[in-house]
Amino acid sequence: MTERLSVVDIIRRKRDGLTLESEEVRFLIQGYVQGKVADYQMAAFLMAVYFRGLEPREMTDLTLTMARSGDMVDFGDDPRVVDKHSTGGVGDKTTLVLAPLVASAGAVVAKMSGRALGHTGGTIDKLESIPGFRTSLDREEFFRLAREVGAVVAGQTGNLVPADKLLYALRDVTATVESVGLIASSIMSKKIAGGARRLVLDVKTGRGAFMKERKKAQELAQAMVDIGRGAGVRVVAVVTAMDQPLGRAVGNALEVAEAVRCLAGQGPPDLEELCVRLGAHMLLLSGVEGELDRAEERLRRLIRSGEALERFRRMVVAQGGDGRVADPGSPVLPAAPAREAARSHRSGWVQAIDALAVGRLAMRLGAGRERKEDSIDPSVGVVLEAKVGDRVEKGDVLGVVHARDREAARWGAARLEEAFVLGDVRVEAPALILETVS
Ligand code: URA
C-alpha cells in the first residue's frame, strides 16, 4: 500500500475530517523524521488535526509510531514495574515522594524525568539540588538500580522519541500545541518509549496547569487512557486541582526538603493525600495490592514506620547523592542567602493563591527556566505559610521568599503578596483530587 500513499492525500483526508489508516499515520510520521515530508506539509497536517481532532485509534498509531522513532527501554514483563507522570504544575514534587514510597511497598519505579521549563518545575532539577546526585545514567546502571533499589530517576536519554522533539518544535511555532490528541500522543509516546507498561497519570487542571479548563483536562485524561488501551499499556489517570501550588514549597532544594518531610510523615496534608492516592493506584497496577483503601493504608504505614524515607536515602546514595539529605533538618541542601516574608495587608480568609503567579515568581527568582538554555539556582524559591481556606490576620506571614540577594527577596515578597486573594467570606480548603479515569 505504501507506494499508493501520498502526503498531500493524507493531509487532505484529515482536512476533510476523515479517519486515517494506521499505515497513513506511519507513512507520514516516519517520512517526516526521515526528512522526506516537508515542514510546510507537516504544519498543514498539524493544523488539520487541530481542527478535526484524532480518533483513539489514530492517536494510538501516532503514539506508537513516535515512540518507535528512537531508543526504547524495555523492562520485559516484570509486573512490578510501574511508572507515573504529571502534566506539570507548581510545587509538584510528587515523584520525589512516590518513587521511594511505592518502592518500599514492593513495586519498581524506574522513571525518566524532565527539567523545568516556564512556570513549572522539573524533577531532574529538583534531584540535582542534592549534592552529588547524578541524573545522567547509562542504560545498564538504570536497569541495575531499578533491580537493586526499586526506585531510580534519570534524565531522558538523547535519542528518546526524536519524532516528538521534531513535532513539538513545529507545533510550538504553528499554534498547534493545544490539541488534545497531539498532547496525549506526545506524552504517551515518551512514556511508552521509556518502558511504561503500567502508568498512573496526574492530569492537572487550573490556573497553574497546562490544561486550565477542567473539561479539557478530562478530555486529555480520557485520550491517554484510550491510547493506553490501544497500545497495551494499563493507564489510570487522576485529574487533580492546580489552582494553588501543591504543598508549600516551590523551588528545587526547598521542594526536596518538603518531600523529605512528607516521607517522614510531616509533610503538608495536600501533598501527602495526593502521593498516597497516586501511589495506591501504582500498587494496584503493579499487583502489589488489590484494593485502593488497603493500598493507601499500607503506604501511610510505610511513611509512619520510616521505611519510605529510608528507601529515599538508598535511592539518593545509589545515584551518588549525599544520603544525609534524608535526615530531618539536614544542612546539606543549598540555602539561599536572602529571605523576606510576604505579609498580609489585611485580616481575612485566603480565597485563592494564584499558582501561575507563584510559579512565574519562582522562575524569575532563578528556580526555573524561561528558555531551555537558561541555568537555574537550586536554592531559591518560595515557601507558603498560608493556603486556601486558612484564616490570616493583618501582618501575618503569607509566605517567605528565598532569593539570591536582599533586593530580589524584597521584590519577590511584594509579588508573592499579590498572588494571594483575601476576603471576608470563609472558604473551605478546596478538593484536590477531582476524578479518576481508568
Ligand atoms: N507535554 C508534552 O510532553 N507534550 C505536549 O505536547 C504538551 C505537554
The two beta strands, 381-384 and 397-403, are antiparallel
The CA distance from 397 to 374, in Å, is 31
pLDDT in tens, the chain (438 residues): 556 899 999 999 999 999 999 999 999 999 999 999 999 999 999 999 999 999 999 999 999 999 999 999 998 889 999 999 999 999 999 999 999 999 999 999 999 998 878 888 899 999 999 999 999 999 999 999 999 999 999 998 778 999 999 999 999 999 999 999 999 999 999 999 999 999 999 999 999 999 999 999 999 999 999 999 999 999 999 999 999 999 999 999 999 999 999 999 999 999 999 999 999 999 999 999 999 999 999 999 999 999 999 999 999 999 999 999 999 888 999 999 999 999 999 999 999 999 999 999 999 999 998 888 888 999 999 999 999 999 999 999 999 999 999 999 999 999 999 999 999 999 999 999 999 999
The label of the residue with cell 475530517 reads: 17
Mutate to test the pocket of ligand 1, among 177, 205, 220 (most ligand atoms within 8 A of CB): 177
H helices present in 242-351, as ranges: 252-263, 269-285, 292-304, 307-318
pLDDT at residue 434, as a whole number: 98
To which H or E segment does residue 12 belong?
Answer: helix 7-15
Give catalytic residues, as residue numbers. Answer: 85, 164, 171, 186, 190
Mutate to test the pocket of ligand 1, among 62, 63, 87, 168 (most ligand atoms within 8 A of CB): 168
The CA distance from 403 to 415, in Å, is 13
In ligand 1, the atom with minimum distance to the C-alpha of 114 is 3
Q: 187 in ligand 1 pocket by Cβ < 6 Å?
A: yes
- Residue whose Cα lies nearest atom 6 of ligand 1: it is 183
The CA distance from 305 to 295, in Å, is 15
In ligand 1, the atom with minimum distance to the C-alpha of 182 is 6
- Residue whose Cα lies nearest atom 8 of ligand 1: it is 183
pLDDT at residue 120, as a whole number: 84
pLDDT at residue 157, as a whole number: 77
- Residue whose Cα lies nearest atom 3 of ligand 1: it is 187
CA 75 / ligand 1 centre spacing (Å): 24
User: pTM for the whole thing?
Assistant: 0.95
Domains delineated in the chain: 2-53 (1.20.970.10), 81-326 (3.40.1030.10), 338-423 (3.90.1170.30)
Q: How many CB atoms lie within 10 A of CB 214?
A: 16
C-alpha cell at 113: 524525568
CA 187 / ligand 1 centre spacing (Å): 5
What is the full DSSP assignment across 292-315?
HHHHHHHHHHHHHTTHHHHHHHHH
Partners of 400 in the β-ladder: 341, 383
Mutate to test the pocket of ligand 1, among 54, 87, 170 (most ligand atoms within 8 A of CB): 87
pLDDT at residue 234, as a whole number: 97
CA 375 / ligand 1 centre spacing (Å): 22
In ligand 1, the atom with minimum distance to the C-alpha of 177 is 6
In ligand 1, the atom with minimum distance to the C-alpha of 186 is 4
Sign of CA dihedral 322, 328, 330, 334: positive
Q: Give the amino acid at 385.
A: E
| Sheet of 338-343, strand order | 249-250, 381-384, 397-403, 338-343
Mutate to test the pocket of ligand 1, among 119, 174, 210 (most ligand atoms within 8 A of CB): 210
- Residue whose Cα lies nearest atom 2 of ligand 1: it is 187
CA 438 / ligand 1 centre spacing (Å): 20
Q: 183 in ligand 1 pocket by Cβ < 6 Å?
A: yes
CA 186 / ligand 1 centre spacing (Å): 6
Distances (CA, A) of 191 to 110, 287, 307, 437: 11, 20, 28, 18
Question: How many CA atoms, within 13 angstroms, populate the side-chain half-sphere of residue 411?
Answer: 11
pLDDT at residue 389, as a whole number: 97
Q: 186 in ligand 1 pocket by Cβ < 6 Å?
A: yes
**What residue ranges in 48-186 does DSSP mark as E strands?**
83-86, 109-113, 151-155
CA 97 / ligand 1 centre spacing (Å): 23
Pick from 78, 164, 155: which is nearest to 113 by CA? 155
pLDDT at residue 3, as a whole number: 60
C-alpha cell at 177: 500545541
End-to-end CA distance of the chain: 36
